[in-house]
Amino acid sequence: MIEREDERLAKSTGDSVRLSRRTLLKRTAALAAAWTVCPWPISVPSAFGRDREFGREPDHQAITQTLEAFADTLIPGEKRFPEDRAIAGAVSGAGAVQAGAIAMLNFPPVGFQPALPGIATLLNVRAVLYALAHGISLELKLPPFVELDFASRTALLVEILDGDGPDQGAFYGLASVCFVAYHSAGYLPTADAIRDGHPGLAAIGFPPPNPDGVWRFPDFSYRRVLAVPHPDSQHGNPA
């Protein structure tokens, strides 16, 4: 269970918590120690070269969970099952994850696949730093970003995506791909996606094609004069 450490400490001290540099360093050291034994091996060990040392593959489940949580923060959806942690369940109905964000991120023409382990690592590092800065305790049974609650995930992504940090571009690219998954089903032919009930296209009301798979709209106009033209215009052109 996530507990806001600042609140707990505030209760005990009767004062708001301001993390000193020393406190931050102590907590970082504690977390670093915890990482060596924690059960989510995704990328932080990789960042310290441990994967290479032991010849381990990246933890695909943890990467996926991290990216799902990222996508769900951008376009929220409902939990897929009661124990779902990647999806925060902030709303009812489908979100980016159900719309295929992970398939989109792994879709070869997108070219993002090789970067996913690294960017998931980066996100989890940012999540740890965020937790430290805000006095949030992490159990470290899950990737740190997944452990954050929806409000914290959102606040962190605002910090990253609307900020000027060196990693902003990478995360903005990641976010764009998630949006394309939901709003455009960009990993599928659009007609097929609509036929199969793609939840994002359904949510925005993207119209279905004709039975032959081609879009045509014979009814497209009010067929009414709705304005007067500019007096100086000629054949639709400005003077």
Partner 1 sequence: MANETTDVLIIGTGFGGSIPGYYLAAGGARVIMLERGPRLSSEEFTQSLQVGGYTRILDSIGGTGISVTAGNCVGGSSVTYYAASLRAPSFVFERQGTIGRRIWPASITRSTLDEWYLRAEEALPVSELSWNDVPYAGGVFAAACTRAGHTCQPVPVAVDLTRCTNCNWMANGCLFDAKRSMLLNYIPGAEAHGAEIRPLHEVQAIHRAQTAGYRWAVEYRQLDPNNYNVAVGSGRIEAKIVIIAAGTMGTPVILQRSKKYIGRIPVAVGRHMSANGDRITLAAVNEGKVRDLLGLERAPGVPYDAFPIGKPISSMSFDYLDPNAPEFSRFALQQLFAPPLTNAIFEDGVDGPPVWFGIDKRDLTSRWRSWLTIAAFTEDANEGVFGPPPAAGNFTRIGPAAVGQLRYDIAPETQHGFDLSDEATRSIMTLDGLATLHLVKSTKNIQCAHPLASCRIGDDPATSACDDRHELRGHPGIFVTDASSVPTSLCVNPSLTIAALAERASSILLKRAPLYGVQVSGPVPPP
Residues at the interface with partner 1 (CB under 8 A): 73-76, 90-91, 95, 107, 109-112, 154-155, 157-158, 161-162, 172-173, 175-176, 179-180, 183-191, 203-207, 209, 213-233, 235-239
The type of residue at 71 is A
Q: Which is nearer to partner 1, 21 or 224 (CB)?
A: 224
Closer Cβ to partner 1, 38 or 181, answer by number: 181
CB of 139 to partner 1, least distance (A): 25
Both tokens of 52, joined, read: 């290479």
Other beta carbons within 10 angstroms of residue 86's beta carbon come to: 22
Residue 28 has a CB neighbour count (10 Å cut-off) of 13
Shortest Cβ 201–partner 1 spacing (Å): 8
Pair 139, 34: CB distance under 8 Å: no
Nearer to partner 1, 62 or 94 (CB): 94
CB of 179 to partner 1, least distance (A): 4
The SS3 call for residue 122 is helix
- To the nearest whole angstrom, how small is the minimum distance from the Cβ of residue 130 to partner 1? 14
The token duo for 65 is: 């969970």
User: 39: which 2 tokens?
Assistant: 């059960």
Gap between the Cα atoms of 96 and 76, Å rounded: 7
Nearest distance from C-beta of residue 223 to partner 1, angstroms: 5
Q: Which is nearer to partner 1, 65 or 73 (CB)?
A: 73
62 vs 86, beta carbon nearer partner 1? 86
Instruction: Taking the CA atoms of 179, 193, 104 and 149 in sequence, report the sign of the dihedral they define.
Output: positive
The partner residues of 137 in beta bridges, in order of sequence, read 3
